[in-house]
Chain A
């Protein structure tokens, strides 16, 4: 494309504005986390003296380490289960014509619309009665419920694009149905599944409501809930520094994912919305 200097400068300015707006709060949080605990509330943007004390502080606490393990474990397991089930459902929706197909998609949409906070009370009650309160499955199950509709939507949009005739072509060439699926269809479906997995992971990693209300100790508490409940170093100090440091730690995976999978996340978000 041809463009002159002036347009280039104009775009550079626009780009800069977008980047600054998007990243400034993260930058502020990073600066805050690098302040010395004693200067945390001095109201300066750039720390007057730099230190890693806040980070050292949180990793010395059992609360944060365990929460990090819980977060990673619960988010990964939810992702694997949700993507597996969503793939099966989306496969059925894309390939088969069965009665209730529309109903299934409508139900998925209805669940996606359901206010999560409305599930908190009953689940709290139920989980306490059947012993799932404050356990990993106690969080994985609601995450699956809320990510499945998202997964089914995104994946059926992706699966609809797959040229299914290829499967028959492979079978004509002598492949068994299983082989045809594994060697022809699976590679084509993989990008969609991967994208869905990222979106589901972000959801599970992000959740605060369930983590906050359905857990009580380090046994299953995830990072967002743990951060919200961080105690100060003593009764009279604000946990600001620890929160900022912990927040940065859990933001790193997100930034890495965004950096590497930017294209996929965009594709996933737009696929479900427009074609679904």
Chain B
């Protein structure tokens, strides 16, 4: 396990400091941090970085709300729980590429999608001329595919909340809404943070669905992972590609650190209250 990851990681860092271009294989040279400067001063990196952030923030927020609703439904449903869980697991288990194709075909008028027809759109939401709709399709796909995962993690947190607390609050005259915000949410905080952490890190690395929906080269929604892939395997520019990889990794680590810090303080707070 360590060999397979450690070697490539080290190789990757080393590569990121080289001028290594497969089109000119004999022209490798040590260039220090030049690749990083190239990437960080390019507008493409920052453009794709913002695409990634937008997709991540919007889809994870929607997922959190929908996931919470779905978790509540799965927790409270008085019948048909198995049916709900089973159907919710289908998007989770389905191949991302398949999900992306399903959504692309549904939305693309060029490929016979029914959505533009139903909504009476005169344009093609998947075409590169419609940046806003490109986002919509990508985010919807992401939300559909991963809300169940979010919901299951939240469900695990919901089951921890003791029923007695709810009963007691009911006796004291608390409304459903109050009980949800004052009892359920605070007790579920760790589960929410874990779910958010997992999903945010995942969403930052989004690749499959964007690549499929945009056919690999739609600059409107290109994310950092897609940029990285194109740099490595289409443009064969290994040095710059490796630098992008390292930057993505650093972003992920920063995101994780922020979450874990938030996680830690909330745990400490809980302990303080007890």
Contacts and interface: CB of A to CB of B under 8 A. Distances in A.
A244 B101 contact: yes
Interface string B5-31: 101110110010000000000000000
Interface string A224-260: 1001100000000010100110010011001101110
A269 B153 contact: yes
Interface stretch (A13-21, A160-168, A171-179): A13-21
B53 interface: no
A43 B87 contact: no
Given A29-B102, A206-B96, A238-B111, A115 B90 contact: no
B89 A270 contact: no
B165 interface: no
B85 A227 contact: no
Contacts of B84: 15, 18-19
Interface of B is mostly: helix
Interface of A is mostly: helix
A207 B241 CA distance: 21
B95 A250 contact: yes
B5 A26 contact: no
A274 B1 contact: no
Interface size class, chain B: 35 or more
Nearest to B148: A22
A59 interface: no
A195 to B, nearest CB: 13
A244 B99 CA distance: 10
Contacts of A1: 78
9 contacts: A3-B78, A21-B144, A43-B113, A122-B15, A126-B11, A144-B4, A209-B207, A265-B89, A274-B160
Given A8-B79, A18-B73, A121-B242, 20 more contacts: A15-B83, A25-B103, A43-B114, A43-B116, A107-B2, A117-B225, A117-B228, A117-B245, A118-B228, A126-B7, A141-B4, A213-B229, A213-B232, A224-B97, A240-B105, A247-B95, A247-B102, A250-B98, A258-B93, A266-B85
